[in-house]
Structure 1
Amino acid sequence: MSMASDLDRLQEICPQTVVAKTLPAGHFNTIEVADQVNAMLDRFLAVGLGRHQV
């Protein structure tokens, strides 16, 4: 099974699933594109956990 079909299946089971990908980055995306990773984490905390922006 490919990763794409795994993600499709996950979204069937859990439609609110959101998938994000950093671009362009290698194995060290938290260093190479930290701004993207931080934005994704902030979005997860704000939306996924219901945290309110101050």
Structure 2
Amino acid sequence: MIDRYGAPTLWAASAVVGTVAAVGYGVLGRRLRVEDQPETVGREAVVVEGAGVAG
């Protein structure tokens, strides 16, 4: 393939594929971070004493 298209073309194609993969990874990570955050709109925090304390 290098003989047919040349090294610069293959480097450019690799850069494009890498950039698309990086953007997709970033978008997916942002979407997952948004979904993991609890909804707090219109709700009050409830504090329970001793919650989560092993004893």
TM-score bin (small chain): 0.3 to 0.5
Structure with the larger helix share: 2
Higher radius of gyration, 1 or 2: 2
Larger relative CO (CA 8 A, sep 6+): 1 or 2?
A: 1
TM-score using structure 2 length: 0.32
TM-score using structure 1 length: 0.32
